[in-house]
């Protein structure tokens, strides 16, 4: 895995922790091409960060800040290693996604969610509902799911604006109302 574009372009990332399924370089490239200028100057949340590749990609492409959240100690170590490798700065938080969203925040412009594919749909729906108040109006959410999964997880405060398919991965691009 590597950073696709921006100031850290080409930087190889640390080994993927066991049990983590990172988004492929191709899918990340497609997602960020789709997001375009929305990332520049944005406050970004990378929830279920894994290796931190999505948050790091956003920082490399000009995001103002990124908060990278994962519950796994191995993932947090990988994220910290990847920040050092890229020379980028981001806030790393070891926390369960739901507990993290229970905290107050100023609001994110872009939220990137790459939960485990077997993450229970009701829990994911709750996380998306809890995320809503943390987004600025018109904020963007990118949610990865298995291509064959239902999209029953989308709460009413988010609207699907685009589907991106890469192999077995579907990325839903949502907009906060």
Domains of the chain: 26-176 (3.40.50.150)
Cβ contacts of residue 130 below 8 Å, gap of 6+?
98, 101, 102
Tokens standing for residue 165: 């398919």
Beta strands in the chain (DSSP E): 43-47, 65-70, 91-94, 108-113, 135-146, 158-166, 169-176
**Per-residue pLDDT, 151:** 58
**Per-residue pLDDT, 153:** 65
**Per-residue pLDDT, 23:** 87
pLDDT in tens, the chain (177 residues): 899 999 999 999 998 888 888 888 899 999 999 999 999 999 999 999 999 999 999 999 999 999 999 999 999 999 999 999 999 999 999 999 999 999 988 799 999 999 988 888 888 889 999 998 899 989 999 999 988 876 566 777 788 899 999 989 999 999 998
**In the block, which residue shows the tokens 């640390």?**
14
Distance of CA 103 to the CA centre of its chain: 18
**Per-residue pLDDT, 139:** 94
Answer for the pair 157, 129: CB distance below 8 angstroms, yes or no: yes
pTM, full prediction: 0.93
Number of H helices and number of E strands within the chain?
Answer: 5, 7
Answer for the pair 3, 9: CB distance below 8 angstroms, yes or no: yes
**Per-residue pLDDT, 152:** 62
Biggest CA–CA distance in the chain, Å, is 39
């Amino acid at each position: 895995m590597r950073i696709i574009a921006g100031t850290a372009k080409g930087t190889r990332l640390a080994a993927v922790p066991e049990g983590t399924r990172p988004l492929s370089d191709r899918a990340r490239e497609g997602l960020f091409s789709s997001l375009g200028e929305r990332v520049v100057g944005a406050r970004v949340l990378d929830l279920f960060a894994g290796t931190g590749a999505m948050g790091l990609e956003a920082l490399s492409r000009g995001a103002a800040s990124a908060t990278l959240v994962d519950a796994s100690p191995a993932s947090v170590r990988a994220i910290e290693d990847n920040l050092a490798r890229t020379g980028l700065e981001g806030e790393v938080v070891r926390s369960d996604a739901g507990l993290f969203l229970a905290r107050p925040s100023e609001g994110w412009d872009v939220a990137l969610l790459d939960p485990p594919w077997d993450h229970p749909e009701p829990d994911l729906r709750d996380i998306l509902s809890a995320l809503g108040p943390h987004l600025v109006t018109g904020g963007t959410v990118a949610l990865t799911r298995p291509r064959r999964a239902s999209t029953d997880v989308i709460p009413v405060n988010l609207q699907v604006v685009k589907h991106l398919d890469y192999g077995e991965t579907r990325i839903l691009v949502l907009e906060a109302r």
